[in-house]
């Protein structure tokens, strides 16, 4: 079988290495505008890996990379710019599709392609990263034993060796937009820098990573989970870029309003404010990491699911945290798992669907465990706690919940 991976930045590189370790595909075709970098990644793979120059803004080149593939895995960001057109190209080419889209507006546009995907007999799994992705899968799993009423998702990561402009643009884009939250059974919108957004901020302990103030994020779980989790009344998504000083720099640039995409004249030169803002932020990143003492990547995902079991209130807390692994692993490994499941025929539904509507949670977690062992990263870094109606906390061995 053959998979086409679009983009080999931080996330795409991890996805490619994970796909190679899983051994599901005979051939990996890597499409990236930087062929030289793609070739360096390909050299680390044991299976046949082909590299093709691919401009994400050229539908013809996209379809050329996709053709003859069983699955296309899209890791090209920012997704608010490239997500919908790349998905459209995959649908028109008739190739099953997986991505890691975490942009809310892009997700909404992609979901509009649901009927078109059905007409072309295409299965499209969108948002198969960490949040969205694993977060959705774990919430769905809870429906097996809990009448789910509330879902609060928290995430923090940072310290990766490199960070691209697309990631920073995604963050700026997220801070500028209205943020959906599902409260008291209805969809509401808040803004990060206004009182409505500040009211949601809270201090969150991330096991193995630290305790940080998190803020509202416009991730698509608050839109998709209420559609697929029966009876849920609350869904929030709060996160942070680490270290906090780096997050505050990005916030400060957004507050100043120097993120427009229309060029302005500076000493006779046409300059796009957004491009300047991204370049400035990236120029400060290394010193901010050193100041905060970050010498390695780190990341954590925490999901708090509340509900009722046998008429009694309960909460389950799922936490994955790791020093030495950050956004690349947190997003790239689930993405590769989604592509592998798609190729194996384990995502039979046609159309454009989020993880909670299309994948089997146990199959995802089983492949995740296998991927970590295959790449020498050990076991799943899971911490699970149960809180009963009296507030008693009990730690649970994840292997007793997930028969992997």
At residue 292, the 3 state secondary structure works out as coil
- pLDDT one-digit tens code per residue, 220-244: 999 999 999 999 999 999 999 999 9
pLDDT at 126: 98
pLDDT at 330: 83
- pLDDT one-digit tens code per residue, 268-281: 999 999 999 999 99
Contacts of residue 175, Cβ cutoff 8 Å, sequence gap at least 6: 192, 193, 250, 251, 254
Q: Give the Cα separation of 307 and 335 in Å (integer).
A: 29
- pLDDT one-digit tens code per residue, 354-377: 999 999 999 998 888 888 777 766
pLDDT at 354: 98
Q: Count the neighbouring beta carbons within 10 Å of the beta carbon of residue 397.
A: 9
pLDDT at 398: 80
pLDDT at 404: 59
Q: Match 């993880």 to its residue by tokens.
A: 355
- pLDDT one-digit tens code per residue, 249-270: 999 999 999 999 999 999 999 9
Alpha carbon of residue 206 to chain centroid: 18
Residues spanned by CATH 3.40.50.720 within the chain?
2-129+327-374
* CA–CA distances in Å: residue 170 to residues 6, 277, 278, 279: 18, 13, 10, 14
pLDDT at 327: 64
pLDDT at 260: 94
* CA–CA distances in Å: residue 147 to residues 139, 152, 203, 231: 11, 15, 27, 8
Q: Give the Cα separation of 130 and 132 in Å (integer).
A: 5
Alpha carbon of residue 110 to chain centroid: 15
Of 3.40.50.300, 3.40.50.720, 1.10.1280.10, 3.75.10.20, the CATH number of 2-129+327-374 is 3.40.50.720
Give me the mean pLDDT over the 82-86 stretch: 97
């Amino acid at each position: 079988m053959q998979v086409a991976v679009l983009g080999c930045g931080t996330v795409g590189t991890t996805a490619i290495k994970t796909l190679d370790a899983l051994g599901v595909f005979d051939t990996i075709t890597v499409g990236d505008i930087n062929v030289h970098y793609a070739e360096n990644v390909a050299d680390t793979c044991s299976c046949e890996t082909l590299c093709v120059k691919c401009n994400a803004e050229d539908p013809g080149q996209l379809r050329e990379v996709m053709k003859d593939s069983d699955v296309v895995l899209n890791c090209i960001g920012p997704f608010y710019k490239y997500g919908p057109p790349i998905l459209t190209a995959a649908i028109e080419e008739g190739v099953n599709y997986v991505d890691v889209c975490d942009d809310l507006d892009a997700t909404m546009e992609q979901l509009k392609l649901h009927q078109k995907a059905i007409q072309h007999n295409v299965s499209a799994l969108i948002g198969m990263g960490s949040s969205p992705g694993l977060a959705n899968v774990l919430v769905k799993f809870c429906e097996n034993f809990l009448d789910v009423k509330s879902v609060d998702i928290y995430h923090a990561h940072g310290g990766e060796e490199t960070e691209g402009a697309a990631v920073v643009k995604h963050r700026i884009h997220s801070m500028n937009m209205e943020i959906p939250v599902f409260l008291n059974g209805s969809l509401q919108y808040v803004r990060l820098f206004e009182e409505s957004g500040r009211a949601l901020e809270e201090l969150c302990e991330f096991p193995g990573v630290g305790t940080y103030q998190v803020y509202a994020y416009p991730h698509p779980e608050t839109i998709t989970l209420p559609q697929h989790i029966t009876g849920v009344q609350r869904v929030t998504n709060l996160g942070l870029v680490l270290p906090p000083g780096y997050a505050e720099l990005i916030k400060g640039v957004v507050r100043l309003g120097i993120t427009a995409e229309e060029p302005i004249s500076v000493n006779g030169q046409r300059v796009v404010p957004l491009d300047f803002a991204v370049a400035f932020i990236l120029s400060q990143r290394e010193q901010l990491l050193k100041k905060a003492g970050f010498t390695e990547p780190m990341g954590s995902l925490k999901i708090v699911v509340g509900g009722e079991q046998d008429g009694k209130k309960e909460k389950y807390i799922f936490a994955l945290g790791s020093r030495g692994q950050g956004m690349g692993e947190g997003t790239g490994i689930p993405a590769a798992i989604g592509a592998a499941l798609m190729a194996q025929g384990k995502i039979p539904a046609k159309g454009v669907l989020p993880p909670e509507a299309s994948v089997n949670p146990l199959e995802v977690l089983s492949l995740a465990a296998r991927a970590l062992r295959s790449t020498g990263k050990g076991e799943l870094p899971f911490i699970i706690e149960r809180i009963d109606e009296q507030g008693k906390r009990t730690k649970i061995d994840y292997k007793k919940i997930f028969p992997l």
